[in-house]
Amino acid sequence: MQKVRWGILGAAKIAREWVCPGIQSSDRGLVAAVASRTPGKADSFAARYGARVTDSYEALLADPEIDAIYNPLPNNAHVEWTLKALEAGKHVLTEKPIALRAAEIDTLIAARDRAGKLAAEAFMVTHHPQWLRARDLVQGGAIGRLRQVQGAFSFLNRDPGNIRNDAAVGGGALRDIGVYPTVTTRFVTGAEPVAVTHAEIEWEAGIDAAARVMADFPDFHLDFYVSMRMAPRQVMAFHGEDAVLTVRAPFNAYAYGDQVIEIREADGRVVIERFGQAEQYRAQANAFNDSVLDGLPYACPLEFSRGNQAFIDAIYAAAGPAA
Q: Single out the residue of 144, 222, 230 nearest to residue 180, CA to CA.
A: 222
Which residues are CB-neighbours of 150 under 8 A, at least 6 positions away? 222, 223, 224, 235, 236, 237, 239
CA angle 28, 24, 301 (to 5 degrees): 65
CA distance 141 to 158: 42
CA distance 111 to 99: 14
| Half-sphere exposure at residue 52, Cβ-oriented, CA atoms within 13 angstroms | 14
Q: Alpha helices, DSSP H only, in 125-261?
A: 129-139, 173, 179-189
Secondary structure (3-state) at 283: helix
Question: Which residue among 84, 90, 96, 117 is the active-site one?
Answer: 96
Could you give phi then psi for residue 115, rounded to 5 degrees? -80, -25
Cβ atoms of residues 232 and 177 within 8 Å: no
**Known catalytic membership, residue 13:** no
The residues annotated as belonging to the active site are 96
